[in-house]
Amino acid sequence: MKALFRRSEAVVALVLLLAMIGIGALNPAFFSLSNLFSLARSNVVNGIMALGVLTVMISGGIDVSFPAFAIAAMYLTIRLMLAVQWSGVIGPFLLATAIGLALGLLNAALVHGLRMIPLIVTLGTGALVRGALLGLVGTSQINIDRMPPELIRFGSTELVAVRDASGAHIGLSAMILIYLALALLVHLFLGRTLLGRGVYAYGDDREAARRAGFSPPWIVFTVYGLAGALAGFAGLLHASMIWLANPRDFIGLELDVIAAVVLGGASIFGGRGSVPGTMLGVFLLVMISNSLILMHIPTTWQRVVVGLIVIAATAITSWRDRRRLARGLA
């Protein structure tokens, strides 16, 4: 039992459970099927991006450019689809992922080549990409009437659909399957592949990882490339799910996603973090943000709440790390 609670996933899960009970007690509408389905749906885009950020943070880095990359991949892909009358689903998603990947590799090249603090590099690339997109490609939103219909059809696929007492349609988005599949892949990558173990080793102790035979450039290019690719994919998925492409979307999203990853037990010093923890962190944060209205708290408080959660989670993480150091377990 004690060993279980030393795992941060268990602690986050417990907090999540308590929060659910608390919110549900304040407002039983929380447990309605439509609210639970919409919660599950809200996890998808943030969650997919968080998987990339998690990998970067395990390697000891940080990425604040991924929202800009997601928007660039999404908007460029949809604009191209409209310009050349390109339809389909798999092709556009591959393109968006490739754009994200290319931009992520740019981050990696700069982080590795310039030996610069990742925060500064990704601040620069994020501003560069977002500014260039809005300044050169355009700022106009593509609304549902012009959105490629295949994407909309794909984004509104449902796993199950029921009718509530009043006959209203309640559906569970099938997109959560994509999220779960990607989460499983990243989980297996981190836990079961040599390169994945290398990401942990590199984040824990760079020199030791290098001497153990892991190649630092491979790791750096993998983690930032993965973060970019996942962001590009999530960007197009987001547009497909909300039926519009807004190039000004995702501003400030990096904070929510990083907060979720930290909440899930990842350490910015690297070497620590897990996919289940991150998924719980994303769920907790999305749930709290979405439930403020249910709890009769004005939505203007959302940022304060997110900030308090970040501080609390990082304070606990740093306290835990120092206690481990003191015990000589680190």
Partner 1 sequence: MRVWRAPSSETAQHARGLALLIIVIFAVMSLLVPEKFLRPYNFISITYVAPELGLLSLAMMVTMMSGGIDLSVIGAANLASILAGLFFHCVGGAHGAELAGLAWPWVAAGLGIALATGLAAGALNGLLIAGLGITPILATIGTAQILTGLALVLTGGPAIVGFPDRWDAIGNGAVAGLAAPLLVFLAYAALIALLLARTTFGVGLALIGTNRKAATYAGLAVRRIVFLSYVLSGALASSAGIILSGRTNAAKSDYGVSYLLQSVLIAVLGGTDPAGGRGSVIGITLALFALMLLASGMQLLRLSNFLVDAVWGAFLLASIALNLWRSRRAGRT
Binding interface with partner 1 (CB under 8 A): 62, 110, 114-117, 119-121, 123-136, 139, 255, 258-259, 262, 268-269, 298, 300-308, 310-311, 314-315, 318-319, 322
Strands (E) across 58-146 are located at: none
Pairwise CA distance, residues 116 & 153, whole Å: 43
Q: How far is the CB of 175 from partner 1 (least distance, A)?
A: 27
Would you say 182 or 285 has its CB closer to partner 1?
Answer: 285
Q: How far is the CB of 117 from partner 1 (least distance, A)?
A: 5
| Helix or strand holding residue 233 (H, E) | helix 216-242
Pairwise CA distance, residues 259 & 249, whole Å: 19
- Mapping DSSP to helix (H, G, I), strand (E, B) and coil, where does residue 318 land? helix
Q: How far is the CB of 221 from partner 1 (least distance, A)?
A: 17
Nearest Cα neighbor of 208 from 197, 222, 221 is 197
Q: How far is the CB of 33 from partner 1 (least distance, A)?
A: 31
Pairwise CA distance, residues 214 & 201, whole Å: 8
Would you say 240 or 267 has its CB closer to partner 1?
Answer: 267
Pairwise CA distance, residues 174 & 289, whole Å: 22
Pairwise CA distance, residues 166 & 169, whole Å: 9
Q: How far is the CB of 254 from partner 1 (least distance, A)?
A: 9
DSSP 245: B
Would you say 91 or 138 has its CB closer to partner 1?
Answer: 138
Would you say 34 or 314 has its CB closer to partner 1?
Answer: 314
Q: How far is the CB of 156 from partner 1 (least distance, A)?
A: 31
Those residues whose C-beta lies under 8 Å from the C-beta of residue 65, and which sit 6 or more positions away, are: 103, 107, 122, 123, 125, 126, 129, 254
Pairwise CA distance, residues 136 & 297, whole Å: 40
Pairwise CA distance, residues 195 & 193, whole Å: 5
Would you say 113 or 149 has its CB closer to partner 1?
Answer: 113
Would you say 182 or 227 has its CB closer to partner 1?
Answer: 227
DSSP 135: I
Would you say 275 or 306 has its CB closer to partner 1?
Answer: 306
Reduced to 3 DSSP states, what percent helix, strand and coil does the chain have, rounded to the nearest 5?
Answer: 75, 5, 20
DSSP 86: -
Question: What is the identity of the amino acid at 306?
Answer: V
Q: How far is the CB of 121 from partner 1 (least distance, A)?
A: 7
Q: How far is the CB of 131 from partner 1 (least distance, A)?
A: 3
Would you say 114 or 185 has its CB closer to partner 1?
Answer: 114
